[in-house]
Amino acid sequence: MDTDAGVRRHLLTWILPAFVLVAGVSGCSGSAEPGVVSPSPSASPSPSASSGTTAPSDAEAEVMAQELPVPWGIAPLPGGRFLVTMRDDAALAVVHPSGDVEPLDASGGAQELADQTMPAGEGGLLGVAVGPEDTGPTFTVFLYRTGAEDNAVLRAELDLDGMTLGDVTTILDGIPSASNHNGGRIALGPDGYLYVATGDAGNPANAQDPESLGGKILRVTTDGEPAPGNPDPGSPVWSLGHRNVQGLGWDASGRMFASEFGQDELDELNVIEAGGNYGWPDVEGPGERAGFVDPVAWWPTSEASPSGIAVTDEAVYLAALRGERLWRVPLLGTAQDVADGTSPGFGEPQELLAGEYGRLRAVQAGDDGELFVLTGNTDGRGEPATEDGRLVDDRLLRVTLTPAG
């Protein structure tokens, strides 16, 4: 989607005030150490309605499916199934509860999708989201792909009975692309609008440039138009100043979270505010600078490089690539506390599955308190696992949290 001069002028009118109005939350200066916004001494974690635990002491994983070639995005389907994107193959597959992996028919829309996608470096077929009201067998599917000239968001109909993808419609294009920093996560928010995470495409200036859709979180209708209530009514931009966002999620109060890759020092977990400026490239990690929103948790890049996230009633979980672990950031207080503006904050991050399954690409919360985690070892940067000389990566893991005590 091309941004005309009028939209650019409107975007400037809210970006400039945002530097004054959006204050950073308190945190330490940018030293390369893990950190979190300090909780109240009397705060206690909110109870988890799904898992019945407030502080898991460990996590146990079992392999649900394996031999997935460079999986990237995951979206739940009814019946315990998942729709998974394969980045480099520009293909989709359904993972069944049995562990069977069933690729979509390669003709029709699937072929059209493959023809439009140009995998290179970190680009390819990335995020996926499924219409939340769909019950099947036909589903509306949204996809994020890297093409020859840009990144774009597409829409198509998935027929699970025939395992086919219908005609592909581009609903949002013109997102900068490169061999790295493509963003790519998409998610339908609790308000029914589509949120799109983009990267700076290797050009840090994009993140602060009102004329660029790079380095932003976008909020659009399911037709790709700027959603009602955006900071600028003519623009899809929801927040700016991002380096490379690859995780989006919401808690029970509607509070939005996003994970973000740092450059050399600190990766971030942010609470996203409409019109918020998250500081890149001027700030990496907490900087306590007026006009920028600081993260609520941060890690050295060697310990995280967070991609997908899942938000449950009791914590935010981040899948770490370079860090090869699952990070848990406890949510303190209750949903009502957050709604009232009195939430005491976040508990100290806890690491799970450290070094057990290599790079972790995405995490999805299940209906019964479990988590489903995609590994990311076949992307050219990991060490794919083998068994008896046979490649078994990448894998979809079913993770059970073990209560403390």
SS3 341: coil
pTM for the whole structure: 0.89
What are 375's strand-pairing partners? 360
* Sheet strands (E) in 221-296: 237-240, 245-250, 256-260, 266-272
Residue 388 main-chain phi, psi, to 5 deg: 55, 40
Res. 55 pLDDT band, cuts 50 70 90? low
Is the pLDDT confidence value at 349 over 70?
Answer: yes
Question: For the residues 325-351, what does the mean pLDDT come to?
Answer: 88
Q: 321 or 36: whose pLDDT is higher?
A: 321
219-223, 335-339, 365-369, 391-395: segment of lowest average pLDDT = 335-339
User: Span 360-382, mean pLDDT?
Assistant: 97
Q: Measured between alpha carbons, how far is 374 from 309 in angstroms, rounded to an integer?
A: 11
Name the residue with higher pLDDT: 89 or 341: 89
- Weakest mean pLDDT among 15-19, 64-68, 82-86: 15-19
pLDDT of 2 above 60: no
At residue 321, the pLDDT reads 98
Query: pLDDT class for 15, splitting at 50, 70, 90?
Result: very low
- Cα 295 to chain centroid distance, Å, stands at 15
Per-residue pLDDT at 3 exceeds 50: no
Residue with the bigger pLDDT between 299 and 7: it is 299
How many residues comprise the chain?
405
Least-confidence region, from 90-94, 165-169, 335-339, 376-380: 335-339
202-221 residue pLDDT tens: 999 999 998 899 999 999 99
Cβ–Cβ contacts within 10 Å for residue 114, how many? Answer: 16
> Is 50 exceeded by the pLDDT of residue 27?
no
Contact assessment for residue 299 and residue 368, using Cβ atoms and an 8 Å cutoff: no
Q: Specify whether the CB–CB gap between 220 and 228 falls below 8 A.
A: no
In terms of C-beta distances under 8 Å and separation of at least 24 residues, what long-range contacts does 382-386 make, across chains too? 382/358, 383/358, 384/358, 385/357, 385/358
3-class SS at 254?
Answer: coil
pLDDT in tens, 280-325: 999 999 988 999 999 999 999 999 999 999 999 999 999 999 999 9
Q: How many CA within 13 A on the CB side of residue 401?
A: 29
Tokens representing 85 are 């994107």
Query: Do residues 219 and 238 lie in contact, with contact meaning Cβ atoms separated by under 8 Å?
Result: yes
Residue 115: which residues within 8 A CB-CB, separation 6 or more?
none
Residue 254's pLDDT is 93
Task: Find the mean pLDDT for residues 392-405.
Answer: 90
Instruction: Decide if pLDDT at 231 tops 90.
Output: yes
Strands, E, within 12-109: which ranges?
35-36, 56-65, 71-77, 81-86, 91-95, 101-103
Average pLDDT over residues 331-352: 86
Residue 39 has what pLDDT?
54
* Residue from 201, 207, 195 nearest 248 by CA: 195
**What is the tens place of the pLDDT at every residue in 77-125?**
999 999 999 999 999 999 999 999 999 999 999 999 999 999 999 999 9
d(CA 52, CA 207): 40
Please give the angle made by the CA atoms of 355, 35 and 329, to the nearest 5 degrees: 60
Whether the per-residue pLDDT at 405 is higher than 70: the answer is: no
